[in-house]
Amino acid sequence: IFWTKKLDIVVIGLENSGKTTLLSVLAHGEPVETVPTIGLNVKVFKKGQVNMKCWDIGGQEQYRSEWSRYTKGCDVVLFVVDAAAPQKLGAAKKELHKLLDDGSIGTTPMLVCANKIDLTPHVGEAELIDKLQLNYVMETPWMVLPISALKCTNVEQVVEWLTAQGK
């Protein structure tokens, strides 16, 4: 991938949703830094013009005030969900809406990656929008993209979306 623009990407999602896998596919990069905030394990990748910061949400409530530090000033947010684990969508929705409600994402464009579509069964796009209550999200521009980070399905569409988000 050749990146022409400087891009700050923040990748968030529940543990095990596939963030690290997606990042390594996007970046083929090495983690360059672990931000030394107690209780917050943020992985930072760097590849050419692209900075990527990645962290798990959930189970870290007490550090929530730190998060806007990472999302503020970033260009795009990737929210990764495991589409093959419908039982986790409630928790994902809860955590996502906390971030949306406390202004941590604001007007930054957000791509919701419905990951693991190589697994059967997995939830479809309409059901995901419903379960994550995305139709109630007004301030943040969002889009849903079904992907498989593992099989590289639709990953080029993630890249297209990312590169289209110019400042």
Binding site for ligand GDP (CB under 6 A): 13, 15-21, 115-116, 118-119, 148-150
- Residue with smaller CB distance to ligand GDP, 150 or 159: 150
6 is in an annotated binding site: no
53, 9 contact by CB (below 8 A): yes
Q: Is 140 annotated for ligand binding?
A: no
Whose Cβ is closer to ligand GDP: residue 82's or residue 103's? Answer: 82
Nearest to ligand GDP of 13, 134 (CB atom): 13
| Closest distance to ligand GDP from the beta carbon of 121 (Å) | 13
Q: How far is the CB of 18 from ligand GDP (least distance, A)?
A: 3
Q: Is 73 annotated as a binding residue?
A: no
Q: Rounded distance, CA 64 to CA 99, Å?
A: 8
As measured in angstroms, the least distance from the Cβ of 53 to ligand GDP is: 13
Q: Is position 59 annotated in a ligand binding site?
A: yes
Terminal alpha carbon distance of the chain: 20
CB of 39 to ligand GDP, least distance (A): 16
Whether residue 53 is annotated as binding a ligand: the answer is no
Q: In what order do the strands lie in the sheet with 50-56?
A: 31-37, 40-47, 50-56, 7-13, 76-82, 110-115, 142-146
Tokens 């730190």 belong to which residue? 66
Helical residues (DSSP H) of 72-154, grouped into ranges: 89-101, 125-131
Helices 155-164/19-27 angle, 10° precision: 70
In the bound state with ligand GDP, the residue whose beta carbon lies nearer, of 53 and 116, is: 116
Q: Could you tell me the two tokens for 59? A: 């189970």
User: Is residue 153 part of an annotated ligand binding site?
Assistant: no
Q: Residue 86, preceding bond cis, omega within 30 degrees? A: no
CB 151, min distance to ligand GDP, A: 6
Binding-site residue set: 13-20, 37, 59, 115-118
Binding-site residue set for GTP: 13-20, 59, 115-118
